[in-house]
């Protein structure tokens, strides 16, 4: 399958021709099928969501390469299909299902079927002129799977620990303790795998070291940033902060000035940055720039506002450091040393 897909990679001339005659494909991804709708020809076709079906789809679009293939995030059913698109050089994008559903409602489309959803996706891509996204590399994909599994293991461990506090029947106590031992071993194994994956990849190992040079960012937060921010150090930093959900949005109307609130974004990334910011501001060193920033804000605003502001600043700094390929330097500490 992999060799066949590489033969499908678009040439420069094909891409240029494609840009002159734009056509968009929306795909509703289900567990077993792919419902495909192409615009402006309004063609609809269904393929199996399997390696054979993906190859049939690639053969179908070979003579008329799409400007963009758009599909929704469906909890993992789209993952291998998207990898096949990336390896074949097909421009694609995966969007939040809620975003497309809101778009459908704005058009007055209340019915929901696989065929309708595919058409709405194609219309959404054509109207918004969406840009193709960059596919995370193999290391990022493997890291993400392990991070999700680690989180699930920790959640399960917490559940069994809570159960053990109230258990009295000896069979339950013994069984729960055995489960906890097994879970702890699995967590240790996962953490070892995570470390090894990054160590074996020079590019991500360098970025990992840059990120961990920032006060408050440890191994777990660094890994989360690597997984969730594939465009770190590239493009617009403000878009990256919006992706993380650490940008406050206005809520104003007429003379009313509402309270600014953060909204949306990737919860896992925002949570990791929030915990890193909490850690950074607790450091009692006099040269702690993050703590000084936090204290300046909380003198007038609530605690959480200060923490989110620090998390926002940390992500901006991380983006800048990775972009320039340098590590964190505490400018405040340098000023103190120079004046001494």
pLDDT attached to residue 257 = 79
Its pTM stands at 0.75
Q: What is the dihedral of CA 149, 154, 155, 160, to 10 degrees?
A: 130
Task: Determine the pLDDT at residue 183.
Answer: 96
CATH fold for the domain made of 2-128: Nucleotidyltransferase; domain 5 (3.30.420)
Whole-angstrom Cα distance, residue 62 to residue 39? 16
pLDDT at 57 over 60: yes
Question: For residue 230, is pLDDT > 90?
Answer: no
Distance separating alpha carbons of residues 162 and 141, to the nearest angstrom: 32
Quote the CA–CA distance of 238 and 312 in Å, as a whole number: 10
Give residue-wise pLDDT tens across range 25-47: 999 999 999 999 999 999 999 99
What is the share, in percent, of the chain residues with pLDDT greater than 70?
91
- DSSP letters spanning 220-255: HHHHHHHHH-TTTTSS-HHHHHHHHT--EE--EETT
- CA 182 to chain CA centroid, nearest Å: 30
Whether the predicted pLDDT of 240 surpasses 50: yes
Which own/partner pairs from 40-46 qualify as long-range (CB within 8 Å, at least 24 positions apart)?
40/126, 44/115, 44/118, 44/119
- Is residue 117 predicted with pLDDT exceeding 50? yes
Find out whether the peptide bond into 40 is cis, omega within 30 degrees of 0. Answer: yes
Q: Which pLDDT score is estimated for 124?
A: 94
Q: Using CA atoms, how far apart are residues 214 and 276, in angstroms rounded to an integer? A: 10
Asked if residue 65 lies in contact with residue 14, where contact means CB atoms within 8 angstroms, the answer is yes
28 backbone dihedrals φ, ψ, rounded to 5°:
-90, 115
**pLDDT band, residue 16 (cuts 50/70/90):** very low
Question: Mind listing the pLDDT tens digit for each residue in 301-337?
Answer: 889 999 999 999 999 999 999 998 889 887 644 543 4
CA-based angle 168:173:176, to the nearest 5? 140
Average pLDDT over every residue of 198-211: 92
The whole-number average pLDDT for the span 257-275 is: 83
Determine the pLDDT at residue 340.
39
Q: What are the beta bridge partners of residue 36? A: 27, 45
């Amino acid at each position: 399958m992999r060799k066949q897909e590489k033969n499908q990679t678009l040439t420069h001339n094909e891409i240029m021709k494609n840009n002159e005659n734009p056509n968009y494909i929306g795909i509703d991804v289900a567990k077993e099928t792919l419902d495909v709708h192409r615009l402006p020809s309004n063609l609809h076709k269904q393929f199996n969501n399997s390696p054979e079906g993906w190859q049939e789809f690639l053969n179908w679009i070979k003579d008329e390469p799409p400007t963009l293939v758009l599909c929704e995030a469906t909890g993992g059913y789209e993952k291998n299909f998207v990898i096949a698109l990336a390896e074949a050089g097909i421009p694609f994008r995966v969007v939040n299902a809620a975003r497309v559903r809101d778009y459908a409602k704005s058009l007055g489309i209340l019915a929901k079927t696989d065929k309708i959803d595919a058409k709405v996706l194609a219309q959404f891509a054509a109207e918004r002129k969406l840009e193709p996204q960059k596919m995370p590399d193999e290391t990022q994909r493997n890291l993400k799977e392990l991070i999700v599994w680690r989180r699930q293991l920790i959640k399960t461990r917490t559940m069994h620990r809570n159960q053990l506090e109230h258990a009295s029947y000896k069979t339950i106590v013994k069984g729960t303790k055995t489960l906890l031992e097994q879970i702890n071993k699995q967590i240790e194994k996962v953490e070892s795998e995570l470390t090894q994956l990054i160590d074996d990849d020079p590019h991500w190992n360098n970025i990992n070291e840059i990120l961990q040079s920032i006060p408050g960012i440890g191994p777990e937060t660094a890994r989360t940033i690597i997984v969730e921010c594939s465009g770190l150090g590239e493009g617009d930093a403000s878009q990256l902060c919006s992706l993380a959900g650490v940008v406050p949005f206005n809520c104003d109307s007429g003379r009313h000035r509402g309270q600014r609130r953060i909204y949306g974004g990737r919860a896992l990334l925002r949570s990791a940055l929030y915990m890193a910011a909490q850690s950074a501001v607790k450091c009692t060193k006099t040269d702690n720039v993050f703590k000084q920033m936090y204290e300046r804000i909380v003198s007038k605003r609530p605690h959480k506002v200060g923490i989110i502001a620090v998390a926002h600043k940390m992500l901006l700094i991380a983006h800048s450091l990775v972009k320039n390929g340098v590590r964190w330097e505490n400018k405040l500490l340098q000023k103190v040393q120079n004046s001494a």
